[in-house]
Amino acid sequence: MRNIDIIYINGAFVTPHGHETAELINPATEAVIGHVRLGDREDTLRAIAAAKQAWPAYARTSKAERIALLHRLHDAVLARADDINAATTEEYGGPVSRAAWVGAYAAKSFLLAAQTLQDYSLTRQIGSAQVVMEPVGVAGLITPWNSNAGFICNKLATALAAGCTVVIKPSEMSAIQTQVVTEALHSAGLPPGLFNIVNGRGDVVGAELSRHPDIAKISFTGSTAVGKTIQRAGADTLKRVTLELGGKSPTVILDDADFATALPLAVTAGFQNSGQACIAGTRILVPEHRLDEAIALARAAVERTQVGEPKDPQTQIGPMVSRKQWERVQSYIRVGVAEGAQLITGGEGLPAGIHAGFYVRPTLFAHVRNDMRIAREEIFGPVLCIITYRNEEDAIAIANDTDYGLQAIVLSGSDEHARAVGAQLRAGRVLINGLHHEPLAPFGGFKQSGIGREFGAFGLEAYLEPKSVIA
Ligand code: NAD
């Protein structure tokens, strides 16, 4: 049983002023595995004050000093990678096949930020002006539960690279991961106040960060609804915001694609991170004259997907993170049936042979219209929709007919053809014929999938303000 009753302020682990506690539950077993004591407004104010005090000196550090510090953080987090992986499985239900890389991935953020800073010109000449990119100030970083360690490290790495000090509000459901990451970061021995970490509720700690005048910028990853709340709360102080929000990403399978590989790939794209991924490709678009073929191939792929114990290396889909999330997915399965979509496989209830844990049956709907709720709203579980299109123009229109715009995948027999269709899609990332990743390319959403970008130079600039010095 873990009892996490400390937060991190001004370089030290301290007992929170707040007294509220929250249970930590292993979603694979439903057992209570610990408790976390939550910080309150007072704790948040202390953390903001510490970051504010540390900022002026840190903002004056050189590129070389910041790069050295980022390397120290990388080494410190990498040394605890196995513990981060284990916490992800225990607390989040992340299958080991995925959890095996989350610690190293989190650590790598610091190297990527160091490389980005190294390659970035903080001053440049524009006509008679010398333009200096200055750190924006103290940043508030708010993370979700679906990749807590990764988001803490990436946001922190970028903010520190830019010369910002920070207060981090991690997901309150990820306190074990947060604890391991905080211990690792502390062991790097940075000057006090550069980063402060306050466990707590979103509507308490997150809300205070979002409105406090000493917070210049919020970088938030989470739901679109909370993203809007944060932007409203920050309006009075005109906070800079980076909002990485939800998605309802299309996988567009063109008529010339090899369906035998395209459909399984589309299913994999939809089931990433047990379906709890902002980038999950949850709308599979197929030509209407090949619907039966597409359904048969997708159904076989869904039914091959192994659901179960996250510690089993064969497992592809673990439990949902919480009972609330399990119930949300169940309710969307009921909505799909009620809306008249055809349930091809899966459905309500626990998978066969499983009697405890927040497991859902991987579910596939066909005959889905793009105006149904299951096609429009983010479900955040392994529930996929097959939607038909008449021709390519129709496919592009359906793909773009969404409030979201985080990612799109185009599958075709020719990269050129896929690129031509991809050029017409309104999404922050378009993947051509595969599940590709480029860690230094900007990541973020069009439309209600967010504001701003993370990673690489675009991510760094989100923590910088240009100052024109004209002589
Ligand atoms: P959430 O919005 O419920 O919570 C995210 C964080 O915001 C948590 O730390 C929470 O405590 C905090 N929060 C809640 N209310 C707040 C408030 N009023 N003010 C400030 N902070 C508040 O999201 P979640 O359920 O933790 O994560 C799932 C969501 O995150 C999905 O919608 C998913 O698409 C999105 N997501 C987006 C990306 C991306 O990069 N675009 C990546 C991962 C997850």
Residues in CB range of 298: below 8 A, 6 or more apart: 263, 266, 267, 284, 344, 364, 384, 386
Among 69, 296, 43, 325, residue whose Cα is nearest residue 168: 43
Residue 98 has pLDDT above 90, yes or no: no
Residue 14 pLDDT level (bands cut at 50, 70, 90): very high
Digit-coded pLDDT (tens) for 59-94: 999 999 999 999 999 999 999 999 999 999 999 999
Q: Is 278 a catalytic residue?
A: yes
Count of helices and strands (H, E) across the chain: 15, 21
**Ligand 1 centre and the CA of 172: distance in Å?**
11
Catalytic hit among 208, 244, 309, 461:
244
How confident is the model over 217-259, as pLDDT tens digits? 999 999 999 999 999 999 999 999 999 999 999 999 999 999 9
Tell me, what's the pLDDT at 106?
Answer: 98
pLDDT, mean of residues 38-67: 98
What is the share, in percent, of the chain residues with pLDDT greater than 90? 99
Residues with CB under 6 A from ligand 1: 142-147, 169, 171-172, 202-203, 206-207, 210, 221-223, 226, 229-230, 244-247, 278, 378, 380, 406, 445, 450
Is 382 within 8 Å of 270 (Cβ atoms)?
yes
Atom 14 (ligand 1) nearest CA: 202
Contact status, residue 324 vs residue 353, Cβ threshold 8 Å: no
Interval between CA 119 and ligand 1 midpoint (Å): 31
Q: What is the pLDDT of residue 276?
A: 98
| CA-nearest residue, atom 37 of ligand 1 | 245
Helix, strand, coil share of the chain (percent; to 5): 45, 25, 35
Domains of the chain: 2-245+447-470 (3.40.605.10), 250-432 (3.40.309.10)
CA distances from 176 to 76, 313, 418 (A): 17, 22, 42
Burial 121-131 (b: 16+ CB within 10 A, else e): ebeeeeeeeeb
> Relative to the CA of 200, which ligand 1 atom is closest?
11
Q: How far apart (Å, rounded) are the C-alpha atoms in residues 280 and 449?
A: 13
Mean pLDDT of 83-106: 95
Going from the C-alpha of 87 to that of each of 100, 143, 346, 434, the distances in angstroms are 11, 16, 29, 30
State the closest ligand 1 atom to the C-alpha of 147, by its place in the atom list counted from 1.
43
Backbone angles phi, psi at 409, to 5 degrees: -120, 135
Question: Which atom of ligand 1 lies at the shortest distance from residue 325's CA?
Answer: 25
Pocket test for ligand 1, best of 178, 278, 404, 454 (most atoms within 8 A of CB): 278
DSSP bridge partners of 22 = 36
* Ligand 1 center to 469 CA (angstroms): 38
- What is the residue with the minimal CA distance to atom 15 of ligand 1? 202
Determine the Cα–Cα distance for residues 167 and 50; give it in Å rounded to an integer: 9
> Averaged over 418-435, what is the pLDDT?
98
Cα of 226 to ligand 1 centre, how many Å? Answer: 6
Give the distance (Å) from ligand 1 centre to CA of residue 269: 21
Amino acid identity at 463: Y
**Cα 277 to averaged position of ligand 1 atoms, centre (Å):** 12
- pLDDT tens, position by position, 312-342: 999 999 999 999 999 999 999 999 999 999 9
Residue 180 has pLDDT above 90, yes or no: yes
Q: What percent of the chain has pLDDT over 70?
A: 100
Instruction: Flag whether pLDDT at 125 surpasses 90.
Output: yes
Per DSSP, helices labelled H in 309-354 are: 323-338
pLDDT in tens, 136-164: 999 999 999 999 999 999 999 999 999 99
Q: Give the tokens for residue 418.
A: 């896929």
- The yes-or-no answer on residue 244 being catalytic is yes
Q: For ligand 1, atom 9, which residue shows the shortest CA distance?
A: 171
In the reported structure, the alpha carbon of residue 222 is separated from the centroid of ligand 1 by a whole-number distance in angstroms of 2
- Out of 90, 172, 208, 278, the active site residue is 278
Q: Which of 91, 141, 146, 219 to mutate to test the pocket of ligand 1 (most atoms within 8 A of CB)?
A: 146
The whole-angstrom separation of Cα 42 and Cα 16 is 9
The full DSSP string for 355-409 is -SSS--EEEEEES--TTSHHHHS---SSEEEEEEESSHHHHHHHHH-SS--SEEE
For 43, phi and psi rounded to 5 degrees? Answer: -60, -40
Residue 438's CB: how many other CB atoms inside 10 A?
10
CB of 390 closer than 8 Å to CB of 339: no
For residue 226, the ligand 1 atom closest to its alpha carbon is 2
How far is the C-alpha of 11 from the C-alpha of 193, rounded, in Å? 6
> Tokens 């399984």 identify what position?
264
Q: Which of 142, 215, 327, 403 to mutate to test the pocket of ligand 1 (most atoms within 8 A of CB)?
A: 142
Distance CA 42, CA 66 (A): 30
**Phi-psi sector, 439: left (phi>0), alpha (psi -120 to 50), beta:** alpha
Sheet order of strands, 464-470 included: 123-126, 129-135, 464-470
Coil, strand or helix at 101: helix
> Which H or E element spans position 66?
helix 63-79
> How far does residue 390's CA lie from ligand 1's centre (Å)?
36
Contacts of 121-124 with C-beta under 8 Å, sequence gap 24+, read: 122/63, 122/464
Of 223, 324, 326, 378, the one to substitute when testing ligand 1's pocket (max ligand atoms within 8 A of C-beta) is: 223
